[in-house]
A and B are shown apart, each in its own frame.
Chain A
Amino acid sequence: MKLKEVDRTAMQAWSPAQNHPIYLATGTSAQQLDATFSTSASLEIFELDLSDPSLDMKSCATFSSSHRYHKLIWGPHKMDSKGNISGVLIAGGENGNIILYDPSKIITGDKEVVIAQNDKHTGPVRALDVNIFQTNLVASGANESEIYIWDLNNFATPMTPGAKTQPPEDISCIAWNRQVQHILASASPSGRATVWDLRKNEPIIKVSDHSNRMHCSGLAWHPDVATQMVLASEDDRLPVVQMWDLRFASSPLRVLENHARGILAIAWSMADPELLLSCGKDAKILCSNPNTGEVLYELPTSTQWCFDIQWCPRNPAVLSAASFDGRISVYSIMGGSTDGLRQKQVDKLSSSFGNLDPFGTGQPLPPLQIPQQTTPHSIVLPLKKPPKWIRRPVGASFSFGGKLVTFANVRAQPQPGAEQQPQPQHVFISQVVTEEELLCRSEQLQQAVQSQGFVGYCQRKVDAAQTEFERSVWSFLKVNFEDDSRGKYLELLGYRKEDLGKKLIKEEKQESEFLPAAGETFNISISGDIDGLITQALLTGNFESAVDLCLHDNRMADAIILAIAGGQELLARTQKKYFAKSQSKITRLITAVVMRNWKEIVESCDLKNWREALAAVLTYAKPDEFSALCDLLGTRLESEGDSLLQTQACLCYICAGNVEKLVACWTKAQDGSSPLSLQDLIEKVVILRKAVQLTQAMDANTVGVLLAEKMSQYANLLAAQGSIAAALAFLPESTNQPNIVQLRDRLCRAQGDAVSGQQESPRTPYERHQVSKGRPGPVAGHAQMPRAPAQQYYPHVRIAPTVTTWSNKTPTALPSHPPAASPSDTQGENPPPPGFVMHGNVSPNVAAAQLPTSPGHMHTQVPPYPQPQRPQNGWNDPPALNRGPKKKKMPENFTPPVPITSPIMNPLGDQSQMLQQPSAPVPLSSQAPFPQPHLAGGQPFRGIQQPLGQPGMPPSFSKPHIEGAPGAPIGNTVQHVQSLPTEKITKKPIPDEHLILKTTFEDLIQRCLSSATDPQTKRKLDDASKRLEFLYDKLREQTLSPTIINGLHNIARSIETRNYSEGLTIHTHIVSTSNFSETSAFMPVLKVVLTQANKLGV
């Protein structure tokens, strides 16, 4: 396709490849006259601007020359790397002269544009070529067999390649070899070509077919093969291009007979050795493959002959041709559309007539109707065979899982005379691994989880710790897996019970020496002083006055002793008075201990004393408040402390078992961007999760957005290293976060699990869209990421008995549990009958089909794919029932108690699971009824309620199931707590004004029980009834805040009016506005009751 044209009768030279933009230099052609018979000459430079669709070329500069030219070339000599217009224009003149011009000076309009000039040659200089290896070397040819080699750095004295060939003849062509820098070829119209070796300074071979008809008009070396060259003949009797190989120089290797008349010029593409241009007296410009002879392209030309043809070095698709009709045309061999081009011309035509009303008629010209061409689309087709420069020979693309697909096309070395055999081409898939250490550590972590070797793992981490802080973190984590965790925590904080005990014993021994001997008589004072008054009060049984008197006299010990005798109430009042008066340094601590107000310590202690505060909490705090207190301390450290204390907050969160806060705090403290620092975090989180699970008291609060985010980051990282299985194991399972859902899907499929055959329709967690026809816009607009509906594709179908989720939404997922289609639906309320154990894959259509499709989107209801095979014992699995060192084998259908699902986090959560929560406070007396572990389908186990420590019990039964943290008292620690006299609790009656709550709730449960039919519901209600005891206990202790009490009364009122949905709303409000630790023991149960009541319509 023609791109540009210039009306000049001229020789042409493209700017060197380095140059950008592209320039075309033209020099007035010698021995040709145009219609004006003008003899003036000029050297012009045009810019090739392909973004301008017009046919015009922008003229940059014109230099009026005294010479006309036979040959013009543009060498890159001394071009700077920036590609500024430079190099040297080398012109062959009519009278044996060679002139060097500075193109940059021509463009700037400088008058002194000639660098040098030499007229050593005889006759017109028709042949010029620049050595591509040494661009300062230029070869020239003229009459009388003259060949000179010019050094542009020393232009005055040319060299010769050897002795002149005889007989003397014109040199019409000259060309440097493209592979070997000291080889030069020349040719003459007589048909002979000579190859020179400049090192030997002599001709090494002469090439001729002895036909005497080869009148050489063109000579070109093969761009790639050093020994091959082509010769073109302008003789009409032999209008051929001969391909020669100097290794077989007796006859041409191939003869291209594509022209009907003599060939005037040829040009071999440097960018693709299969493209040879030739133009001839048949007015054709052909592009042929000289290696096969095939014509690949015929340029649409006029009837005029072209006498010069040049490839553009920079844009290999562009060529220029100079024709005898006085025109230089620039073509592209890649074809294209000419529509825009013609329109441009029309516009230009119109505008040249001026403002569309050239004749002043007052009427603008009507728009010109261009006659339609016969071809429907004026598209010029490109070259038959794609040129090499658009054939990508090599490529590498990453794909999911760190795989790299690479291909590289092996270049076959062309063999002379032999057809090229297609080489087998290879496509490779490689695994790219860049994080060896991460993979190694991840593997260790997984092994620790699988083997349950947590203590050993933590110990190794302690040993390997680089910093003190790292060491304490791992020490704290390790304690979670050991007996007496609270005690060990205390030791880590520097408080050793045994040490204190030893000191105490010493003191007691000393004290005992001062004890008065028993049986000694004593005086009762009856004097009028304070002693006497106290005596009176005591003798009359007036403890209160006696205590007052003692206090007044500052006899604190006496006052307290008397107050104890005077009863609880008096003691309490006396304590208060004592604390009001006392000024000792440790008063506040004592106050807090006696009043059991640990919150006071945690909230008010100097943060420097965080260790002491934590120690106090570890020693005294009740299980249901323990975790919250640790949290509180951690939060204070994090928000108020300096950077050192901020990191210590992590220890508090470990004690609290609060994974989410640990993640947040850790992320803040560390540079979390590198893979290994993420690994650091994940190790801790996974171990802490395991600890929380081991104590059977997973706090639902610990699962949150941040942790999920980190885990999915980690999974992404593992996936990128090709560890798909590991990535799946670490990916949070039960979440509706779209990115996690998508990653899971991607991992599953990458693992090759899901797609079992080509018959399957695609099932993805993405909204499906039909590919719209012909409207690209809307399609792209719809290509949004899937939102919430995506979760419907992940019903929780369980296969392996050890598979579980870790989210707060569905904290358990053991085989006896029904498949929950999604956390937000309520299907869980209709679970299968007890004892139903799902083995393997349940048809998931049921779950999926029940879900509504959101309107306005194309959803294809597709069955979710089966839960993929995954490594068992993933990090988020519950402790396996058959392998914990502390546990004995459980019956197959045993379901361990499940942690409380936080109502704050998930007010609409599946309440059926709440029934499985364990009771909260530790029974303080060993006779207290032990909360019955929930036994799924557990009829055989019903009734097994045994006191603590009963021999023969499975250990996990004997362990109280406590809400709270890993450090919360269990086992030995319970004993420790019991031994404290301050923990003695007597059951008080429920205050009269709150009795209504108990009666209302119990009445409601009874009503539900009588109308409920299925055993599972009944069992839930039974459970609920028991668990509401925690509420009643709190009512007795009057520890609930007024807002909660008010809310409960409101719920009771709504129960009385049977408006259960209103009750649920109030419930949600309470939960969302109250302290988690205050309500978690009973609010979820209450919700279950309300939900059931609503459902049963009692």
Chain B
Amino acid sequence: MGSNGEHLRALGTSHPLLNTAPSHDAQMDYYGTRLATCSSDRSVKIFDVRNGGQILVADLRGHEGPVWQVAWAHPMYGNILASCSYDRKVIIWKEENGTWEKTHEHTGHDSSGTIGCNAVSWAPAVVPGSLIDQPSGQKPNYIKKFASGGCDNLIKLWKEEEDGQWKEEQKLEAHSDWVRDVAWAPSIGLPTSTIASCSQDGRVFIWTCDDASGNTWSPKLLHKFNDVVWHVSWSITANILAVSGGDNKVTLWKESVDGQWVCISDVNKGQGSVSTSVTEGQQNEQ
């Protein structure tokens, strides 16, 4: 592994002209060709970012408060984006004939201010290891599980029972402050399930579960940061974790051969000083 920054090649550029308000989320679609951002100015924006470009495709208005998160639907459902806002609305946006429009709106979502759920993350739909064990062609077992992280410092795992009820299956306790984000690692066919969690306490834990019942989780401290850790995100191949901290730093972590988590890069951007003309393939040495 090389020095910081070596693993990052700046691809695209920023679009400061378009996002003047603080962003709260930025998500690429399934293919990595479109970027949805949402920000405190109540807007949801979609950019076409193919080939390093940044064409504003849509500026979606409908929220009456800062927009916290955006989420793309799987393309099997079409080009669909969901957004949620401080206005307690969840809006479903859909592209039809090249135009993005609001198709659904769910209002009056209760705030979780008192109980305090900060994040949820779906488990992979496929039972761990089933891709390996099962003969090909056989339909794998699907499960519905998710993890939640909240103000009670706990990560909770929920599973859908046969009667359709969601049951709390497990409590994972290691953080000493609010759990800010949980991220269930994508399944790459291995029998191990992995969850990353980050907290107000500055800690990031990697939780793993090897047993078939899915009930024995053991935490491993990835790192203790000096600031709130807001966000964790797994790479598609589930081997790199991006950690976003309150110091506006993003770090990338990878598990070494001996099972230790090593920081492989600092993504120290967003200081407003990065040139907007960074060209494709250029090394970002910032």
Contacts and interface: CB of A to CB of B under 8 A. Distances in A.
A432 B8 contact: yes
Contact of A51 (B51, B74, B152, B264): B152
Interface residues of A, number: 89
A427 B29 CA distance: 15
Contacts of A390: 68, 86
B114 A398 contact: no
Given A386-B65, A758-B98, A784-B142, A402 B235 contact: yes
A941 interface: no
A67 B51 CA distance: 73
B111 A335 contact: yes
A398 B238 CA distance: 10
Contacts of B62: none
B77 A769 contact: yes
A783 B270 contact: no
A431 B235 contact: no
Given A386-B86, A432-B240, A773 B267 contact: no
B106 to A, nearest CB: 9
A944 interface: no
Among A401, A407, A423, A757: residue with most chain B CB under 10 A: A407
Nearest to A786: B76
A456 interface: no
A759 interface: yes
Interface in A416-439: 422-434, 436
A121 B17 CA distance: 60
Given A396-B233, A426-B269, A429-B35, A766 B75 contact: yes
B193 interface: no
B79 interface: yes
B248 A50 contact: no
Contacts of B142: 784
Contacts of A452: none
Nearest to A397: B233
A705 B132 CA distance: 12
A433 B10 CA distance: 11
B61 interface: no
B26 interface: yes
A1045 to B, nearest CB: 34
Interface string A370-392: 00000001010010001000111
B214 to A, nearest CB: 19
Contact of A393 (B22, B95, B114): B22
B15 interface: yes
B114 A425 contact: no
B147 interface: no
A1090 interface: no
A433 B73 CA distance: 27
B260 to A, nearest CB: 16
Interface in A309-352: 314-315, 317, 332-337
Contact of B20 (A399, A425, A771): A425
B74 to A, nearest CB: 7
Interface string A73-87: 000000000110000
A746 B32 CA distance: 9
A403 B32 contact: yes
B149 interface: no
Is chain B's interface secondary structure helix, strand, loop, or mixed overall?
A: loop
A995 interface: no
Nearest to B55: A758
A366 interface: no
Contact of A427 (B37, B95, B125, B265): B37
Contacts of B230: 392-395
A749 B250 contact: no
A436 B235 CA distance: 17
Given A51-B115, A395-B26, A758-B57, A433 B8 contact: yes
A489 B77 CA distance: 55
Interface string B63-91: 00110100001111111100000100000
Listed residue (A334, A393, A408) with the most chain B CB atoms within 10 angstroms of its CB: A408
B231 A394 contact: yes
A769 B78 CA distance: 8
B49 to A, nearest CB: 6
A749 B114 contact: no
B245 A405 contact: no
Given A336-B110, A391-B24, A398-B234, A427 B267 contact: no
B76 A432 contact: no
Contacts of B79: 762
A403 B40 CA distance: 24
Interface in A722-738: 722, 737
A771 B39 contact: no
Contacts of A404: 8, 242, 250, 252, 267
B12 A737 contact: no
A750 B31 contact: yes
B97 interface: yes
A428 B136 contact: no
B76 A766 contact: yes
Interface in A199-252: none
A50 B75 contact: no
Interface in B129-178: 136, 139-140, 142, 144, 151-153, 164, 176-177
B220 to A, nearest CB: 19
A717 interface: yes
Contacts of B50: 752, 755
B208 interface: no
Interface string B9-30: 1111111110111111111111
Contacts of B113: 1, 317, 332-336, 382
B98 A428 contact: no
Given A427-B35, A720-B236, A391 B19 contact: no
Q: Which of A335, A398, A431, A433 has the most CB of B within 10 A?
A: A398
A379 B51 CA distance: 47
Nearest to B15: A427
A125 B40 CA distance: 45
Nearest to A398: B235
A401 B32 contact: yes
B153 A428 contact: no
Most buried by A among B7, B73, B272: B7
Given A395-B231, A720-B236, A752-B33, A3 B114 contact: yes
B235 A433 contact: no
A872 interface: no
Contacts of A783: 74, 76, 125
Contact of A720 (B77, B235, B250): B235
A336 B235 contact: no
A764 B26 CA distance: 23
A784 B35 CA distance: 25
Contacts of A391: 22, 24, 40, 66
B244 to A, nearest CB: 4
A410 interface: yes
A17 B151 CA distance: 12
Contacts of A720: 235-237
Interface in A481-497: none
B168 to A, nearest CB: 11
A390 to B, nearest CB: 8
A409 interface: yes
Contact of A430 (B10, B74, B114): B10
B108 interface: yes
9 contacts: A382-B113, A386-B66, A427-B35, A431-B10, A752-B33, A752-B51, A764-B75, A780-B144, A784-B125
Interface of A: 1, 3, 17-18, 20, 50-51, 82-83, 314-315, 317, 332-337, 377, 379, 382, 386, 390-411, 422-434, 436, 705, 716-717, 719-720, 722, 737, 746, 749-750, 752, 755, 757-759, 762, 764, 766-771, 773, 777, 780, 783-787
Given A409-B23, A777-B164, 5 more contacts: A403-B32, A428-B270, A434-B7, A722-B11, A785-B140
Query: Closest 5 interchain pairs by CB?
Result: A334-B113, A408-B270, A766-B76, A399-B28, A424-B16
